[in-house]
Structure 1
Amino acid sequence: MMSDFHEFHDELRTVARELLGKAGAAAVEWPALTRAGWTGLETADEFDGAAATFTEIAILLEEIGRAAARTPYPAVVATGIGALNLLEPSTRRDAVLRETVAGTALPVAVLAGDMVPAAGGETACAGTGGIVPTFELVQTGPEYLLSGAADYVLEAPSATVLLVPAHAADGTPGIAVVEPGVTGLEVTEQPVVDETRSFGRVTAHDVALTPQSFQLFAPGTPQPLRHLYDRAALAVACDSLGVAAAMVDATVDYTRVREQFGRPIGSFQAVKHACADMLVDLTVARQLVTAALSAMAEGAPEVGRAVSMAKSFTGEAAVRVAGQAMQLHGGIGYTWESGIHRYLKRATLDRTLYGSPTAHRRELAARYR
């Protein structure tokens, strides 16, 4: 399905590449993204947004991966705004959306990065396949008490608003809107191999909330938590796609100018074959990501399968491409100055974030049992 903004995609990609290129290895300034309108791209007109779709967001996510940029933007748009858009309209929800568009709020949904939805809509641990309990709300008089924990929550240390998926005592699913720093809530940073992103463990010990802080999902929303995980996984696949594209371009450019035995190394057959393999990986990955984006835009019933196919293949492909890029760059590829290590580390983390290839393939295989 073609987006209403399709004619602006090339311009959006060009502007994004230019903006991210200015930051280099430094963190991208959040006000710059706000001024560019990125924070309001997928929000409705009533919140001063552009009312675009996740298809346009995917372009930005790919460019962020291409630049290996340091920014909480992927977590904010993929999980934060994604969760807010699934909720029933309310004063609290609308206020957070407006603040996000204005750049004064950074909402992040508390989704464990080492989880992947299993068949049937349950949330299974990617490493063991076991069922992981969600956060729970217990009503005590006029208040709710929130308890639970989640590991490797992307950009949790940077969030100004935490959106915690939880079930009320009667089983009603929703989102608890929590401010970091409240009594009983802890966000502990967790180190990872990729220095361009931050993760945290979110733990709630009987956090007291008002009834207004628990927001229900809009009626008729099928498996909202599953939708959020699919959205998060697809966002990571877009990032992996950008990483792979950057490494293909960098390697082709390098092999054209690097000479050995009086000729460019790109003229050697072995190097040509290696670059061709990288391009094949990138091409297949792009096709799978595009198919998953189309399925999500159309609300197709098999969107979960399309996302698992894109995430499992693209995650592995990006690691292969980055590893091949490092090898084809020769000795300089192993130096700190080359910057290729940043892409290899980012691809390595992307491969396991929101479900490893094995976990997603297990999910795909389960559909045929």
Structure 2
Amino acid sequence: MSENFSEFHDELRTVARDLLGKAGETAVEWPALARAGWTGLEVGAGFDGAAATFTEIAILLEEIGRAAARTPYPAVAAAGIGALHLLEPNSRRDAVLRETVAGTALPVAVLGGDMVPAAGGETACAGTGGIVPTFELVQTGPGILLSGSAEYVLDLPAATVLLVPARAADGTLGIAVLEPGAPGVRITEQPVVDATRSFGRVAADDVALDPQSFLPFAATDRPLRHLYDRAALAVACDSLGIAAAMLDATVDYARVREQFGRPIGSFQAVKHACADILVELTIARQLVAAALTAMAGTSPDTSRTVAMAKSFTGEAAVRIAGKAMQLHGGIGYTWESGIHRYLKRATLNRSLYGSPADHRRELAQRYRDH
């Protein structure tokens, strides 16, 4: 992150921590996020936004992970607004952007959480970056029909607008803009062990679209891959926040918890465990920062750096949360400690948008290809 904006970033982090802290374990109210300017942070000034970058969004995503907060903001900010920015400008897209900034719309891009790059990458899926859309458009006389499904779509139950990546019959890639209650659209909530997030399955069975509802991607290289990378990096930021929270909680506990008449933080084994957590957290932070820099500069290596950040940070957060639970002793396994919330969230993050094995397999394929 640029040092020129370090003061602004520190202030943004402080405000986010205060806002999320007031919500506690309850869901963060969406109007409160809109009033704080979060919904328009990455949107241009022409839509009443702040014209910031994904780097600023990443700060908020990390703080949401640190608080294990219940909010659809990650799905809207990372994939929803990201998808809208990739589309050709038109009145429908612009209206959704304005409503999102105002806090009256929650656009969710229909990216399945179990989605991973297809085998063969660019060769198998030319123009998609290895990401295959699971929805297809079929022209039937004057009408257009949309069919397909996606599993484990993050924050789908909260969506007021569905942004469905789809491929037209002529191969054109774009986004179908749908209302959740449109005829032929079926949404089913999918429960997961992590109670801080919501997921759903969406299926479209020959849903009739008017021509203005399918918006083609702008002349962007690999738009679906870019959208997938944003979603994966957002989860890595969340995992980074989880790891940071667990380190802080463990160090604070080790300072006050006494055993044999002295704080347990003075014991060598505890010191070494906390040092190991700090090392993993530092590496994860560097990898996430490198991925953010690559994404901001539209580097051709963005997918590679995102894969590295997602794979390492996803695993590290699970290890750190597990170690934090162990270092808290018996109380760490109780419901009241709250550590279980972070461990469950970190475990889910590890598999969202590709497991560490999926990303490392893709990295290995890239090195073999070169």
TM range, smaller chain:
over 0.9
For structure 2, the 5+ residue unaligned runs are none
| Pairing 1:253–2:255 present | no
**1:201 counterpart SS class:** strand
Match of 1:120 in 2: 122
Shift of 1:325: 0.3
Q: Which runs of 4+ in 1 moved over 6 A?
A: none
CA contact (8 A) 1:5 1:56 kept: no
| Pairing 1:2–2:2 present | yes
Amino acid in the other structure paired with 2:224: L
Match of 2:42 in 1: 42
1:247-287 deviation per Cα after TM superposition (whole angstroms, max 9, x unaligned):
00000000000000000000011111111111111000000
State percent identity of aligned pairs. 81
Match of 1:90 in 2: 90
| Separation in structure 2 between the aligned mates of residue 291 and residue 53 of structure 1, nearest angstrom | 15
Shift of 1:234: 0.1
Match of 2:237 in 1: 238
CA contact (8 A) 1:142 1:211 kept: no
Match of 1:218 in 2: 218
Amino acid in the other structure paired with 1:85: H
Match of 1:297 in 2: 296
1:73-122 deviation per Cα after TM superposition (whole angstroms, max 9, x unaligned):
00001010000000010000000000000000000000010112243286
CA contact (8 A) 1:79 1:228 kept: yes
Match of 1:126 in 2: none
1:178-234 deviation per Cα after TM superposition (whole angstroms, max 9, x unaligned):
000111101111111111000001100000010000001112x00000000000000
Amino acid in the other structure paired with 1:59: I
Match of 2:192 in 1: 192
Give the CA RMSD over aligned residues: 1.4
| Separation in structure 1 between the aligned mates of residue 28 and residue 110 of structure 2, nearest angstrom | 23
| Separation in structure 1 between the aligned mates of residue 216 and residue 169 of structure 2, nearest angstrom | 13
1:109-159 deviation per Cα after TM superposition (whole angstroms, max 9, x unaligned):
000101122432867xxxxxx986620001123321000011000011110
Match of 1:326 in 2: 325
CA gap of 1:91–1:175, structure 2 versus 1, over 3 A, is same
CA contact (8 A) 1:65 1:238 kept: yes
Structure 1 segment 330-341 matched on structure 2, within 5 A:
330-341=329-340
**1:175 counterpart SS class:** strand
| Separation in structure 2 between the aligned mates of residue 36 and residue 5 of structure 1, nearest angstrom | 19
| Separation in structure 1 between the aligned mates of residue 71 and residue 108 of structure 2, nearest angstrom | 13
Shift of 1:302: 0.5
| Separation in structure 2 between the aligned mates of residue 4 and residue 90 of structure 1, nearest angstrom | 34
Match of 1:348 in 2: 347
Shift of 1:4: 6.9
| Separation in structure 2 between the aligned mates of residue 121 and residue 4 of structure 1, nearest angstrom | 41
Match of 1:362 in 2: 361
- Which stretch has the larger CA shift, 1-10 or 184-193? 1-10
**1:337 counterpart SS class:** coil
CA contact (8 A) 2:131 2:225 kept: no
Match of 2:28 in 1: 28
| Separation in structure 2 between the aligned mates of residue 100 and residue 30 of structure 1, nearest angstrom | 11
| Pairing 1:12–2:24 present | no
**1:63 counterpart SS class:** helix
Match of 1:105 in 2: 105
| Separation in structure 2 between the aligned mates of residue 319 and residue 287 of structure 1, nearest angstrom | 18
**1:234 counterpart SS class:** helix
Match of 2:182 in 1: 182
| Separation in structure 1 between the aligned mates of residue 150 and residue 353 of structure 2, nearest angstrom | 12
Shift of 1:3: 8.2
Q: How many pairs does the alignment contain?
A: 362
Give the TM-score normalised by the residue count of structure 2: 0.96
CA contact (8 A) 1:137 1:146 kept: yes
CA gap of 1:280–1:92, structure 2 versus 1, over 3 A, is same
- Which stretch has the larger CA shift, 28-37 or 131-140? 131-140
Amino acid in the other structure paired with 1:355: G
For structure 1, the 5+ residue unaligned runs are 124-129
| Separation in structure 2 between the aligned mates of residue 131 and residue 14 of structure 1, nearest angstrom | 36
Match of 1:81 in 2: 81
| Separation in structure 1 between the aligned mates of residue 68 and residue 298 of structure 2, nearest angstrom | 30
Amino acid in the other structure paired with 2:53: T
